[in-house]
């Protein structure tokens, strides 16, 4: 459902428009007839935007450069802040916070100074608190508790929300959305596409014992539009479809591609040891680890999330993961001239 409250002459700025969530949102907005400007780094690839890349205004800059963010806000009425650094290892904490926390502060300050009508900030379910008992559902009101096991990424996303609330206290109208684990086609080697391709190539040795919440990127982008139109100022909205075990997630993807599903359940100790080795290798090679201790801890446990607020207050509708898996499989299978590094947008 498009944003029916958008005026015909509204100009919308999207940060993070070259990533999975931001590009999906941008395509939706352009197809609905919106006047869209994207904020991106000079080195960013436009591949995920496809033909829509030629139908948007472009503002180059960096979230860490407050002046470039302010320049991008000129003449803008609404802002979707979807840009973030996703990092689950311990390397380069300063860069993580510079983008996710300081960068969000720059966006909020620039939006307020430019007189923007409303901002939707894309956070993460990682910014939610954790219940004392894993059987208890997690929602927007679950209190955050600082703890050694919380990843630097989770902490940065929680602190980014504090920047949003600071700006609201200073007069900005802003809403927060917290997506679940987002699945879409995206780019090979990035995000959940790595999981998808590993299943498709039958390279997954087994399923972690835990579970999480998942969501289709198309539904996340539509939820962002609904938050812009209907969300209450300062309120969080969890955008998630289903709570599934990792065994079910992997089996559903395997079924969509017509390949055997992983049958083994990986022991928690094996996952933890593998994460330590992956982080050590990443440290030596100065790269991001393909698996981290924080991810291992998350994969071992089962967390359940409640999407009632988004369904009732925003009228969000979420497709089942099986439909998402088949949509992704169909797009990958039918992508012409598919090669590694090229986006099947």
Global pTM reads 0.91
Rounded-to-integer distance, Cα 69 and Cα 83, Å: 12
- Residue 7 is predicted with a pLDDT of 53
Q: pLDDT (tens digit, 9 = 90+) per residue, 143-183?
A: 998 876 788 899 999 999 999 999 999 999 999 999 999 99
Q: pLDDT (tens digit, 9 = 90+) per residue, 274-289?
A: 767 776 766 677 666 6
Under the banding of pLDDT at 50, 70 and 90, the label for residue 344 is very low
Domain 11-186+214-244+304-322 in this protein, CATH class = alpha beta
Under the banding of pLDDT at 50, 70 and 90, the label for residue 336 is low
For the chain, the domains span: 11-186+214-244+304-322
Mean pLDDT of 307-334: 97
Mean pLDDT of 77-96: 85
Query: What does residue 47 show for φ and ψ, rounded to 5 degrees?
Result: -60, -40
Contact 21, 122 (CB under 8 A): yes
Neighbour count for residue 156 (Cβ, 10 Å):
26
Mean pLDDT of 59-63: 97
Mean pLDDT of 339-345: 39
The tokens describing 324, both together, are 């998402």
- Residue 91 is predicted with a pLDDT of 60
Residue 28 has pLDDT above 50, yes or no: yes
């Amino acid at each position: 459902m498009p944003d029916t409250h958008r005026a015909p002459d509204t100009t919308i700025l999207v940060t993070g428009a070259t990533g999975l969530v931001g590009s999906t949102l941008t395509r939706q907005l352009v197809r609905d007839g919106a006047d869209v400007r994207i904020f991106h780094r000079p080195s960013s690839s436009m591949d995920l935007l496809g033909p829509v890349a030629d139908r948007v205004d472009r503002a180059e800059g960096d979230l860490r450069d407050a002046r470039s963010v302010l320049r991008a806000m000129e003449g803008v009425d609404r802002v979707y802040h979807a840009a973030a650094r996703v990092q689950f290892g311990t390397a380069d904490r300063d860069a993580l916070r510079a983008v996710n926390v300081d960068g969000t502060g720059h966006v909020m300050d620039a939006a307020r100074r430019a007189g923007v009508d409303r901002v939707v900030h894309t956070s993460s379910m990682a910014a939610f608190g954790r219940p004392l008992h894993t059987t208890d559902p997690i929602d927007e009101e679950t209190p955050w508790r600082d703890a050694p096991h919380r990843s630097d990424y989770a902490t940065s996303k929680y602190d980014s929300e504090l920047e949003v609330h600071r700006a609201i206290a200073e007069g900005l109208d802003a809403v927060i959305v917290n997506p679940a684990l987002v699945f879409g086609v995206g780019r090979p080697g990035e995000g959940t596409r790595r999981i998808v391709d590993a299943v498709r190539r039958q390279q997954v040795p087994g399923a972690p014992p835990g579970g999480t919440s998942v969501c289709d990127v198309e539904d996340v982008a539509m939820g962002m539009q609904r938050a812009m139109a209907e969300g209450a100022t300062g309120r969080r909205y969890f955008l998630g479809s289903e709570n599934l075990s990792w065994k079910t997630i992997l089996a559903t993807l395997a079924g969509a591609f017509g390949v055997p599903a992983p049958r083994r359940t990986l022991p928690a100790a094996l996952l933890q040891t593998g994460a330590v080795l992956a982080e050590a290798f990443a440290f030596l090679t100065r790269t991001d680890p393909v698996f981290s201790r924080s991810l291992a801890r998350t994969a071992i446990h089962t967390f359940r999330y409640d999407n009632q607020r988004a369904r009732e207050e925003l009228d969000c509708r979420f497709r089942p993961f099986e439909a998402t898996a088949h949509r992704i499989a169909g797009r990958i299978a039918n992508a012409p001239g598919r090669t590694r590094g090229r986006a099947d947008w």
